[in-house]
Amino acid sequence: MFNNLTQRLSHSLRKIINKGRLTEDNIKDTIREVRKALLEADVTLSVVQTFIDNVKKKAIGYEINKSLTPGQEFVKIVKNELIVSMGEKNNSLNLSIAPPAIILFIGLQGVGKTTSLAKIGQWIKNKYKKKILIVSTDIYRAAAIKQLQILSKQIEVDFFESSTNEIPIEITKKAIHHAQKKLYDVLLIDTAGRLHIDQKMMDEISAIQTLSNPIETLLIVDSMMGQDAVNMAKIFNKKLFISGIVLTKTDSDSRSGIALSMRYITGKPIKFIGTGEKLTSLEIFHPERIANRILGMNDVISLIEDIEDNVDQSQVQTLTKKIKQGHNFNLNDFLIQIKQMQKIGGLNYFIDKFFKQNSSSQNISFSNMDKHALNKVEAIISSMTPKERLQPVIIKGSRKRRIALGSGTKIQDVNKLLKNFDDIKRIMKKIKTGGISKIIRGIKN
């Protein structure tokens, strides 16, 4: 579902990712492409406008984060805006109510309402081990009641029988009474859909809603309907109280725009997505995960997250400043640097990512450094005198022996560390401006 949007967005964003500077021009170009990608994915025009305005505002006035490149910062802004537009954190189902917790399923005919009810019934059963009852109030099609009965057997959940001779409100009343008497935790009510929205359907659902006072009313929406689904949801939302949306058939060739528009237009969260015909083809809708899927730049996104979560900004900034001011890179700095890099996935990860083409860097022997090796480095440096740390050149034979003894290591280990220090110092010299933060941000010199 998200393939097309993903391809277009990542194509435009990759162009800006390594820009050292965000200028009005390159922001403008990228924003134009993002806008086009969203419109082609069938995102509602007003939503695209708001989205673009927000990204523009944030990109122009963005706060410089010392460890991200401006390009990475821009991708982060787009990602955050995607999350906001889809509803930030997932609101799973609210079942915290005196039983039975009633969930009403509403929507047009053929959108996947009955299938979604069975999928969600099964999900609740497996996740919460609740006692569940399901009922159909679709008196217009005998086949609809039968279909739900068959599904209830498949998911091994109790079914409350109803017939086309009854009226929906009576069926609802009886089902609630039965659920109370038999101590069911959850009652799922299927309602009748129509091919188009009509007053009779709205009145009927409204009466069932008033009588049953559901904790959740889920509007089922077919993602293949694109913009029509958004318009339909808008009307349902105006006339009835809706607590959330289930987006079905996302495995189909549908455009992804609908996932972005729904929350903006209705103000209601998408709670689940249907991903296939099978009863297990259901996913909880996590805006952040979907935003990552839409952006499709897993490498870039994970790096941004790693940097933000793990790197100690103040240490990086102090070190960068020192190096910029021509401060002599010493073993204390070396230790800080290794620790920071360890935090963002180890030096191997870092070197692979940024220095692939730089053959001399690939040969650095500490690229396989693990936690144990880092402890060793720390022990060796701790056994040095302050003077030795600041001027490692003075570390010769007898000093090496003393340091190895003090740190419980071998002279070869001390030699190796000093060699690695020289290697990294060479790299630091090459990267004159930006220092460590530039390395961490991934700019090749």
**Numbered residues of the known binding site for GTP:** 107-114, 190-194, 248-251
CA dist 68 and 96 (Å) reads 42
Q: Is the peptide bond before 168 cis (omega within 30 degrees of 0)?
A: no
249: left (phi over 0), alpha (psi -120 to 50) or beta: left
Amino acid at the residue 355? F
Least separation in angstroms between CB 154 and ligand GDP: 12
Structure token pair of residue 128? 């919460």
Judge whether 187 and 135 are in contact, CB under 8 Å.
Answer: yes
Q: Which residues pair with 265 in a beta bridge?
A: none
Residue 330 interacting with ligand GDP (CB under 6 A): no
Nearer to ligand GDP, 110 or 406 (CB): 110
Q: Name the CA dihedral angle for 184, 189, 190, 194, rounded to a multiple of 10 degrees.
A: 170
Closer to ligand GDP by CB, 282 or 424: give it. 282
| Span of 49-57, 59-67, 206-214, 273-281 interacting with ligand GDP by CB under 6 A | 273-281
Among 12, 122, 248, 320, binds ligand GDP (CB under 6 A): 248
Q: Contact with ligand GDP (CB under 6 A): which of 53, 203, 277, 352? A: 277
Rounded least distance, CB 305 to ligand GDP, Å:
30
Instruction: List own/partner pairs for 159-163 with CB under 8 A and 24 or more apart.
Output: 159/133, 159/134, 159/135, 160/133, 160/134, 160/135, 162/135, 162/136, 162/137, 163/139
The tokens of 176 are what?
Answer: 């609630």
Total binding residues toward ligand GDP, as defined by CB under 6 A: 18
408 binding ligand GDP? (CB under 6 A): no
Q: Write down the least CB distance from residue 275 to ligand GDP, Å.
A: 6
Specify binding-site residues. Answer: 107-114, 190-194, 248-251
> Which residue lies nearer to ligand GDP by CB, 83 or 117?
117
Q: Which is nearer to ligand GDP, 249 or 438 (CB)?
A: 249
Question: Which residues are CB-neighbours of 338 under 8 A, at least 6 positions away?
Answer: 347, 366, 369, 374, 377
* 3-class SS of residue 42: coil
Mask 81-120, x = binds ligand GDP (CB under 6 A)?
--------------------------x-xxxxxxx-----
Binding segment for ligand GDP among 3-11, 207-215, 268-276, 432-440 (CB under 6 A)?
Answer: 268-276
Pull the structure tokens for residue 258. 């609908």
**CB distance 364 to 439 below 8 Å:** no
Relative to beta strand 186-190, strand 101-106 is parallel
Write out the binding residues for ligand GDP, residues 167-226 only, by CB under 6 A.
193
Whole-angstrom distance, CA of residue 319 vs CA of residue 429: 13
Q: Residue 204: phi, psi to the nearest 5?
A: -65, -45
CA 73 centroid distance within chain: 17
Compute the least distance from the CB of residue 287 to ligand GDP, in Å: 19
Burial 119-142 (b: 16+ CB within 10 A, else e): bbbbbbbeeeebbbbbbbbbbeee
Under the binding rule (CB under 6 A), the answer on residue 251 touching ligand GDP is: yes
Question: Cβ 121 to ligand GDP, closest distance in Å?
Answer: 12
Measured from the CB atom, the residue of 193 and 257 that comes closer to ligand GDP is 193
Q: Which of 238, 229, 291, 292 is nearest to 86 (CA)?
A: 291
Query: What is the smallest separation between the CB atom of 249 and ligand GDP, expressed in angstroms?
Result: 4
The CB-nearest residue to ligand GDP is 274
d(CA 157, CA 135): 11
Binding string to ligand GDP for residues 281 to 310, with x set by CB under 6 A, is what? x-----------------------------
Minimum Å gap between C-beta 109 and ligand GDP is 5
CB of 105 to ligand GDP, least distance (A): 8
**Closest CB 215 distance from ligand GDP, rounded Å:** 21
With beta carbons less than 8 A apart as the criterion, state whether 161 and 119 touch.
no
Q: Which is nearer to ligand GDP, 281 or 332 (CB)?
A: 281
Interface positions with ligand GDP (CB under 6 A): 107, 109-115, 193, 248-249, 251-252, 274-277, 281
